[in-house]
Amino acid sequence: MSFLTLGGGCFWCLEAVFSHMLGVASVVSGYAGGSVANPTYQAVCSGSTGHAEVVQIEFDENVTSVTELLDVFWAVHDPTTLNRQGNDIGTQYRSAIYYTDEKQHKEILASLENVKKSFSSPIVTQIEPLDIFYPAEEHHQNYFANNPEQGYCQVVIKPKVDKFKKTFKEKLAK
| Residue 50 Rama label (left phi>0; alpha psi -120 to 50; beta) | left
Q: Could you give the C-alpha distances from 37 to 56, 96, 136, in angstroms and in order?
A: 17, 19, 12
Could you say which of 10, 13, 45, 153 is catalytic? 10
CA–chain centroid gap for 41, Å, is: 16
Question: Cα-Cα-Cα-Cα dihedral of 21, 6, 58, 173, to 10°?
Answer: 0
Known active-site residue 153: no
Q: Which are the catalytic amino acids?
A: 10
